[in-house]
Amino acid sequence: MVLAPDHRAALRADYRTALVGYLAERDETGRSRAYELGHAAVEAEIGLLELADVHRSVVDEVLAEDFSRDAVAAAMDFFIESLSTFDMAQRGFWEAHARAEREHALSISLQRSLLPADLPSLPGLEVAVRYLPAGLGSEVGGDWYDVIELAGDRVAFVVGDVMGHGLRQAAVMGQLRLALRSHLLEGRGPVEAVGRLDGLLDHLGDLTTATLVLAVVDRAASTVELVVAGHPWPVLIDPAGRAEFLTAARGRLLGLPGAPDRPVQGPLMMPEDSCLVLYTDGLLERHERAGTDGAELLRSTLDGLGDDAERLCDELTSALVDGPPADDVCLLAVAMRTGSLPPGGPVPFE
């Protein structure tokens, strides 16, 4: 901060008066006054270099007639005392920074403990996931994903996002993931399984809302069914490399009462060497805030990338994520590899 001329003049006048008094008495009262001046400078956001420049100009004037070793040493003592507030402020900053780093690391550990530990081996499919937690200075979020093996060569893929940030959102995320997994493994269809999450969020209270996309891939039939609850559109890349949003059936947010039911989209054909991409809005947020159409940037980046799920995730994060994200980013890609499936047919939902 550069002082305005009138502020600089006032600081210089106060500093000169205090320094002259200290050189005359050299007592604790003078040292206290030096500390007070440093404290006032910190509160006024006056930089250390600016205060040093004031000290230099005052010393040049005050010691012009008495430049003895004792006077110079006393002036330096006064200046060091005035800097003690800067030292404490700097220590407080670094201690707070270190504490924030520790808390952020613990939050990320909690967040990851609520997500799948490993991806299952899935004959007929290639799956890749990227989970990038928000950088230091951002609270832990509620982004999540899951991969659930179902009966009849079907696999459910989920990506979701609890609205808001904080440890509570992370805890809600964990409950939603386990509840949806349980409903699907009980044999409930996609719409019913997702719908039952509304009751869970209502029970948790505080008008908690969330979004998710659930994709149930039938490996034997080479199809996918989708339920989208207020979530960004999934993208399907066809075998020729063309990327298109699947926009036919987005329903209401989770936890939002009184809105129409969420429709199911599909079954849609998902042929050999096609790839489905699910993600959270953290992937697009920085670009949307900058006025760029993040969704179109996502689609154009995917266009022509092909069906290599790992490479696709690497290319997307490289193109759309610049440094530690301000919000969590979750990305899941599924490529169809039906040639590696054992013989068998699809089993319909009950």
User: pLDDT tens for residues 209-230?
Assistant: 899 999 999 999 999 999 999 8
pLDDT at 343 over 50: no
Homologous superfamily assigned to 116-340: PPM-type phosphatase domain (3.60.40.10)
User: Helices (DSSP H) in 186-251: which residue ranges?
Assistant: 190-204
Sign of CA dihedral 320, 322, 328, 333: positive
pLDDT tens by residue, 100-139: 566 556 556 666 666 777 788 899 999 999 988 765 444 5
* pTM for the whole structure: 0.65
> What is the C-alpha to C-alpha distance for residues 345 and 222, in angstroms, rounded to an integer?
11
More confident residue, 173 or 102: 173
- The residue with greater pLDDT, 345 or 248, is 248
Cα distances from 242 to residues 54, 65, 118, 234, 317, in angstroms, run 66, 83, 30, 14, 19
- Condensed to tens digits (0 to 9), the pLDDT of residues 286-301 reads 665 666 677 888 888 8
Which two tokens mark 117?
């530990």
Q: Tens of pLDDT along 315-336? A: 888 887 776 556 678 899 999 9
Q: Vertex 119, ends 263 and 267: CA angle to 5°?
A: 25
CB crowding 120-134: b at 16 or more within 10 Å, else e: eebebbbbbbbbbbb
CA angle 336, 162, 205 (to 5 degrees): 135
* Per-residue pLDDT reduced to its tens digit, 185-194: 999 999 999 9
- Beta 223-229 vs 250-251: how paired, if at all? parallel
The residue among 194 and 90 whose pLDDT is bigger is 194
Work out the mean pLDDT of the chain and round it to a whole number.
Answer: 77
Mean pLDDT of 156-179: 82
Instruction: Reply yes or no on whether the pLDDT at 180 is more than 90.
Output: yes
**Which position has the token pair 């799920």?**
309
Separation of alpha carbons 329 and 82, rounded Å: 46
CATH class of 5-106: mainly alpha
Using one digit for the tens of pLDDT, what is the confidence trace for 4-51? Answer: 456 667 777 887 888 888 777 787 787 787 777 777 776 666 666 676
63: Cβ–Cβ under 8 A, 6 or more apart, which residues? Answer: 71, 72, 75
Closest CA to 27 of 74, 84, 80: 74
The rounded distance, in Å, linking the Cα atoms of 89 and 130 is 39
Cα 329 from Cα 88, distance rounded (Å): 37
- Per-residue pLDDT tens for 258-278? 656 788 898 999 999 999 999
Residues 57-69, mean pLDDT to the nearest whole number: 71
Token representation of residue 93:
């900053």
DSSP 264: P
Mean pLDDT of 197-208: 79
* Fold agreement between 5-106 and 116-340: no
**Upstream peptide bond of 267 is cis (omega within 30 degrees of 0):** yes
Domain boundaries, the chain: 5-106, 116-340
**25: which 2 tokens?**
């008495």
Provide the sign of the torsion angle of the four alpha carbons 261, 265, 267, 270, taken in this order.
Answer: negative
Nearest to 17 by CA among 47, 54, 44, 65: 54
- In which element (H, E) is residue 311 found? helix 309-320
